[in-house]
A = this chain, B = another copy of it.
Amino acid sequence: MAGSSFGTIFRITTWGESHGKALGVVIDGCPAGLPLEESDIQRYLDRRKPGASSVSTPRKEEDLVEILSGVFEGRTTGTPISLMIRNTSQISRDYSEIADCFRPGHADYTFDQKYGFRDYRGGGRSSGRETAGRVAAGAVACKALSQLGVDVCAYTRSIGPVEADLTRFDREAILSTPTAMPDREADRAAVAYLEAAKRETDSVGGCMECRVEGLPAGIGEPVFEKLDANLAKAVMSIGAVKAVEIGDGCQVSRRKGSENNDGFQMQDGRLYKTSNHAGGILGGISDGDTLLIRAHVKPTPSIYLPQDTVNRAGENTVLRIKGRHDPVIVPRAVVVMECMTALTLLDAMMVNLSARMDSLVDFYTRA
């Protein structure tokens, strides 16, 4: 069944395996007239490129994007935008060990159970490399959102026990530190922590956060297409994410109503909330305040330590994973979270165009 598409009006379909010929995405439903060139997309793909630092795999993936359709004379035409990234770094290697056994924490076993067999090269479709298509499409969504005054920004909130101090929020650091933290001090502590984990041939988990400014009130559709429900799906669909929080998230279950409710007040003729425990969403609809989403990411399952597992013949065995792997997933996943958020928001904003009859009348009967 078709599970590779996301969105209702601004709808993307990703394709490609880790070590196949290429990966890509088709964006269907992008409005006509958006200025777009390959460099707009490449900028985002470069953020998930490995090999950028000591705490990332030294594999080289250039991930050069090619626009194959849907753009004419520098603008989107309203027809499908096909984006492709050729795989260039797959070297011929021996996959026999992972082909024959089920790596703990990976999808080897479940793919085999579902489909009867799998493309075992580098994890095939279940590889994190699959997210390249999401990021390429998300870059287009981000560009469209910026024209609508919406700014989406994801970053690493914590790595293992090391948490970013948001009072020192430095947006530029997100793009330049190895951890994608918005706090250079925490970044240095996290790098030290990661290097220790690498020495133990182990891996670590972390937390990422996304905040959105400029989103108007009224976005999201009751009762199943609520904005928070779709954001939860979008973010939970990123491999290794095991929990999603909106606003104060898990903390609300220990709160009193008198603490948790956000009051409304007028100031200078504008309504605002006196606090934002809700994270910008009430009843599944945006309230005009800052949107806040958090995702908890498990440690990289590929570790060099020996692990008990089972092979395809149904025999117990011990696995020692070779190859080059990130000791933490979060820093390269931050841009994926930003993109999945952007895709969800842009689609929801397009869906919202038809909420009121007077907008339709206005659209079709003016001049």
Contact = CB atoms under 8 A, between A and B. Distances in A.
B307 A255 contact: no
Given A32-B117, A110-B282, A355-B1, A23 B69 contact: yes
A282 B103 CA distance: 11
Interface string A286-326: 11100000001111111101011110001110000000000
Interface stretch (A42-50, A56-64, A168-176, A238-246): A238-246
B360 A31 contact: yes
Interface string A157-187: 0101100000000000000000000000000
A256 interface: yes
Contacts of A254: 158, 160-161, 205
A92 interface: no
Interface residues on A, range: 35 or more
A324 B351 CA distance: 36
Contacts of A281: 110
A68 B22 contact: yes
A301 B147 contact: no
A175 B197 CA distance: 46
A68 B205 contact: no
A91 interface: no
Given A114-B218, A257-B299, A237 B229 contact: yes
A250 interface: yes
A92 to B, nearest CB: 15
Contact of A285 (B17, B110, B223): B110
B260 A299 contact: yes
B243 A243 contact: yes
A245 to B, nearest CB: 4
A283 B111 contact: yes
Contacts of A249: 242-243, 296
A356 interface: yes
Nearest to A248: B242
Interface string A126-162: 1000100000000000001001110000000010110
B106 A308 contact: no
Given A114-B217, A223-B237, A353-B359, 5 more contacts: A15-B82, A113-B287, A158-B253, A242-B250, A266-B316
